[in-house]
Chain A
Amino acid sequence: MGLPNASGDLSTEVEVDAFRRLFPLRFYEKHLSESIRPDARPLGRARDTTIALGAVASANGSALAKIGSTTMLAAIKMEVMTPSTETPDEGCVAIDFHMPPICSPIVRPGRPAEAAPVVSKQLSDTILSSGMISLKELCLVSGKAAWMAYLDIYCLDADGALFDTALLSAVAAFSHLEIPVVSLNDDGKIVLLSEEQEGMSEREPVNREKRKLTLCSIPFSLTCILHKNYILADPTAEEESIMETLVTIVLDSSSQLVSLYKPGGPVLAYTSAIQDCIAITRQRVKELQKILEEAISVMEVD
């Protein structure tokens, strides 16, 4: 006769919230066996996603992206710089990801969060290697002047799937970006033309009008959790802390794999699990493409 299962006896008496705090894994497994999650989502569905372009008026391009409660604000500022001698025709993009203490109780002021430099590096690698932006488009005068785009992403609310939301906000900010008009002044330096000067300027502008970047093969991502035989798409922070095996898949619009990132984790990923994750990501890419296109068309109407 074995010992009675203590939590089994308690589960009929303890309140749902207490059970959730005391035995989080059992709480989740009870839901997963019915193919549902505590927030009533089916296993393969991501949370509601919204994008708002132009959230920061003083920036050249900006966007606010929300997936569920995770909120990220991305803003791009453009600056003119001299290109390096090895690549005289190319501009540069500098990407930085910040997690200020507002986003989560585990981030303290003065101590940068552990996740911040890792997500920052992952974002730079993904955006630069996906070929979404052609650096040659950022050139102004070959060998002398080119654009440097500073992309800053601030996490305002960290509730799981940080990389997905950050990538979505970065992509949306780039699609909102308008390159300002500049002209060459007498010293041979590039000067930004402000709105009032545009009509009055006698000097030839280097680029005629504000233009947008052409973005090809935009990358979109989805993070999944692997737990026993279940695959949970788009985890919340609570799910990420309980079931620690995360797989992030980034696909671009032509279904090429930009990144498959699985940093360890107690569960091993077999080929069938990876194929299922890729299939769920493909559907998610289509959803995200539609959401981004709607957000862009709403901006253009205004």
Chain B
Amino acid sequence: MEVDREDGRTQNQLRPLACSRNVLHRAHGSASWYQGDTKVLAAVYGPKAGARKNENPEKACIEVIWKPKTGQTGKLEKEYEMILKRTLQSICILTVNPNTTTSIIIQVVNDDGALLPCAINAACVALVDAGIPMKHLAVAICCCVAKSGYVILDPTKLEEQKMKSFAYLVFPNSVHSVLPEGSVQGEPMEHGIVTSVTHGIMSVDDYFYCLERGRAASAKLSDFLRRSLQQHPTDSSKAG
């Protein structure tokens, strides 16, 4: 089914991506991630001594602070903080630096759709810039389902509001390995879902269709991430 999107993209086309590392000088690690007009800045401070109260001191602790573009922090920001914290906890190796706290601060510069995936991508690059040990990176994508059942990727804010439902999906990044990959339950590791948040009603089949499209897009995003991280940190990289 062909569909006309306002900015002329096809169904599976992502917006132009831009990623820069080391944009802030005081932070131990920082990154900015631009997906079209959605812009997010992430900063990492850590590991700092001492775990927070009520957290397990045998593991490293991760703290996320989400700053919206305007207004005070409310329930939406608290929810995003919790989702980001649990996602990053699952990708960081927490046993390497026990009894420490790593703070990740997300500042929304502009919100034009797919804000949470953009923030997750920015946070991963900032963690790499800070040198925090991780098992793998997380690659986040947003898929929208329209009433007639077709799925579009990386919507703008207008598209998100018009569509029936959308899903934010986070996958591990693809692995380039010399050894043949082991697969779990017949699927390669990068097909597992790290995080999934859906809004709106969709049928179960639509959700699985979103997963397929999301996985294909996450492979492209993984390649972009790998290229941009392999470059010298002061160069910023752009991709279409």
Contact = CB atoms under 8 A, between A and B. Distances in A.
Q: Do A and B bind each other?
A: yes
Interface of A: 106, 114, 117-118, 120-122, 125, 129-131, 244-245, 252, 255-266, 268-274, 278
Given A125-B199, A256-B201, A270 B87 contact: no
A45 B201 CA distance: 26
A264 B189 CA distance: 15
B89 interface: yes
A129 B200 contact: yes
Nearest to B202: A257
Interface of B: 54, 74-76, 78-79, 82-83, 85-90, 165, 167, 170, 172, 184-187, 189, 191-204, 206-208, 211
Contacts of B186: 272
Given A118-B78, A122-B79, A264 B208 contact: no
A41 B72 CA distance: 45
A261 B197 contact: yes
B185 A270 contact: yes
B77 to A, nearest CB: 9
B83 A264 contact: yes
A268 B185 contact: no
A255 B83 contact: no
B148 to A, nearest CB: 15
Could you say which of A262, A266, A269, A272 has the most chain B C-beta atoms within 10 Å of its C-beta? Answer: A262
Contacts of A272: 185-187
Contact of B189 (A121, A245, A268): A268
A39 B192 CA distance: 30
Contacts of A121: 75-76, 78-79
A130 B201 contact: yes
B90 A117 contact: no
Contact of B198 (A106, A260, A278): A260
Could you say which of B82, B189, B191, B201 has the most chain A C-beta atoms within 10 Å of its C-beta? Answer: B201
Given A264-B194, A265-B86, A266-B90, 9 more contacts: A117-B78, A122-B79, A252-B201, A256-B203, A256-B204, A259-B199, A261-B198, A263-B87, A270-B191
A255 B204 CA distance: 8
A263 B191 contact: no
A265 B90 contact: yes
Contacts of B184: 268, 270
Contacts of A263: 82-83, 86-87, 195, 197
Contacts of B167: 260
Given A265-B90, A270-B184, A270-B191, A117 B79 contact: yes
A264 B197 contact: no
Contacts of B88: 264
B75 to A, nearest CB: 4
Contacts of A270: 184-185, 187, 191-193
18 contacts: A117-B74, A117-B78, A117-B79, A118-B78, A129-B165, A129-B200, A129-B201, A256-B201, A256-B202, A256-B204, A257-B198, A258-B201, A260-B196, A261-B196, A264-B90, A265-B90, A270-B185, A271-B191
Nearest to B195: A264
A268 B192 contact: yes
A264 B89 CA distance: 8
Contacts of B198: 257, 259-261
A262 B196 contact: yes
Nearest to A106: B54
A259 to B, nearest CB: 5
A278 B204 contact: yes
A148 B41 CA distance: 38
B185 A269 contact: no
Nearest to B88: A264
Contacts of A257: 198, 201-204, 206-207
A244 B170 CA distance: 17
A269 B196 contact: yes
A256 B204 CA distance: 6
A266 B206 CA distance: 26
A270 B185 CA distance: 8
Contacts of B85: 264
Contacts of B86: 244, 263-265
Contacts of A131: 201
A107 to B, nearest CB: 11
B235 to A, nearest CB: 31
A262 B75 CA distance: 18
Nearest to A268: B192
A136 to B, nearest CB: 18
